[in-house]
Amino acid sequence: MTDVVTEIEQQLAAFSRDLTEPGDRECLRCYLLRMLEEFGCDNTHRWTERWRSLRAPRAQALLRRLAARGACCCDCEVILNVFRDYPDTGRLLPCAGVSRAGSTKPCKLGAEGTRVGT
Ligand SMILES: [Zn+2]
Ligand SMILES: [Zn+2]
């Protein structure tokens, strides 16, 4: 009986890990959008931190750079102030993938996504 419970707990743990795990090539922007839609913002950079530690562990200055661009305090500010050129589709698009692993640049999403934005 205990075994079954443990097994279920392990499966649940694995499941929730998967949901919040950035894809291999998922860019920070698409990851943040996905997490914010799914879990919301808790007024910290928890999703940015998670993405960074898993996908760009050497980007030590990432949070500082984002803060300098207007995202001082939380994940939604990263979307609102830093990654502003998201295609205006009204829904989330699948991530097109970063060009190289560990890149902190957002992916290029189709024709609309290539609009130059700062
Ligand atoms: Zn927020
Ligand atoms: Zn993306």
36 C-alpha vs ligand 1 centroid, how far in Å?
Answer: 9
Residue 58 lies in a domain: yes
Summarize the confidence of residues 26-36 as an average pLDDT.
Answer: 97
Query: Do residues 118 and 71 touch, judged by C-beta distance below 8 A?
Result: no
What is the total count of domains within the chain? 1
Asked if residue 5 belongs to a domain, the reply is no
Average pLDDT estimate for 7-21:
79
- What's the pLDDT at 4? 81
How close is the Cα of 86 to the center of ligand 2, in Å? 10
> Residue 63 in contact with residue 45, Cβ under 8 Å?
yes
Q: For the chain, how big is the Rg over CA atoms in Å? A: 16
Classify residue 8: in a domain, yes or no: no
Does residue 18 sit within a domain?
A: no
Q: Mean pLDDT across the stretch 41-67?
A: 96
Cα 112 to ligand 2 centre (Å): 13
Residue 59 makes CB contacts below 8 A (sequence gap 6+) with 52, 102, 104
Buried b or exposed e, range 65-74, using 16+ CB within 10 angstroms: ebbeeebeeb
Average pLDDT, the chain: 88
Q: Is a pLDDT exceeding 90 seen at residue 17?
A: no
Q: Which domain holds residue 43?
A: 23-113
Dist. CA 7 → ligand 2 center (Å):
34
Tell me, in angstroms, the distance from the centre of ligand 1 to residue 26's CA: 20
pLDDT tens-digit map of 63-114:
999 999 999 999 999 999 999 989 888 889 999 999 888 899 999 986 444 4
More confident residue, 17 or 54: 54
Confidence tier at 62 by pLDDT (50, 70, 90): very high
- Which residue reads 């994940």 in tokens? 75
- Ligand 2 centroid to 49 CA: how many Å? 17
Please give the backbone phi and psi of residue 32, each rounded to the nearest 5 degrees, phi first: -60, -45
| Residue 14 CA, ligand 2 centroid: distance in Å | 24
In a domain, 109, yes or no: yes
Separation of 88 CA from ligand 2 center, angstroms? 14
Q: What is the pTM for the complete model shown? A: 0.80
